[in-house]
Structure 1
């Protein structure tokens, strides 16, 4: 069974870690959210053995939600809760590395489901998650949609003779 916990070792917490990711990491963005990430090189062991044992997936999440996003702590915490829950569920699928989400002012007007979708979309664009779409120019929904049922035959009117 997959462990969906979010232990302390799976969090980016130190200021120097945030600075390193912002300075040397890569970035993908949407209007409401930006993802800064730095994937670990398997050849270099930057994490200690204790961290690797405590966090087998190796993926760590950091969140930056400022007062510019929402002046109320309740709103900022709602945004962070949606991101933490999504990360906790997919952490085992992510490559080892550090991921920092920076919420933008439009995020406070988004629903939790929209925030989760934006986060997953950024992870796909970053190459951390496989894309959900099929190769080609058409979306998978358009290809897999069944055709409409045939139209019913027109009813005969009372003044017409029955069909032979």
Structure 2
């Protein structure tokens, strides 16, 4: 299965990292979340998460959603291509259970992987 840690090097840390992904992103979209990906020149994927107060009102709900997203990424990072990823949470995701969020993210990771592989081969 490989290394399943979530260390500092697996995170998008600066605003410029996020801007770089937003600039020329490959999207994977659902009604509750959007995942944007862009190829990087590293040997691993990196993750950034945006959850606005407008979309998820309560802090404990924002924290839970981010925790579930990080855990899903940690478990799936070995399947993902070498890309920078930004997960944009839409309104209503906080109403889902953790299991539903995991299931949604599974589908989005697969869709993003296919699209990134297709973009690389083009």
Task: Decide which structure has the larger Cα Rg and report it.
Answer: 1
The aligned residue for residue 104 of structure 2 is: 118
Deviation at 1:69, TM superposition (A): 2.1
TM-score with structure 1 setting the length: 0.65
Q: Report how many residues are paired.
A: 115
The two structures, once aligned, show a CA RMSD in angstroms of: 1.7
Q: Is the 8 A contact 2:33 2:90 kept in 1?
A: yes
Partners of 2:61 and 2:89 lie apart in 1 by: 12
The aligned residue for residue 76 of structure 2 is: 90
Q: Which runs of 5+ in 2 are unaligned?
A: 116-122
Per residue, is there more helix in 1 or in 2? Answer: 2
TM-score with structure 2 setting the length: 0.86
Deviation at 1:2, TM superposition (A): 3.0
Higher relative contact order (CA 8 A, sep 6+): 2
User: Which stretches of structure 1, 4 residues or longer, exceed 4 Å deviation after superposition?
Assistant: none
Q: Is the 8 A contact 1:94 1:128 kept in 2?
A: no
Q: Which runs of 5+ in 1 are unaligned?
A: 41-45, 53-57, 130-164
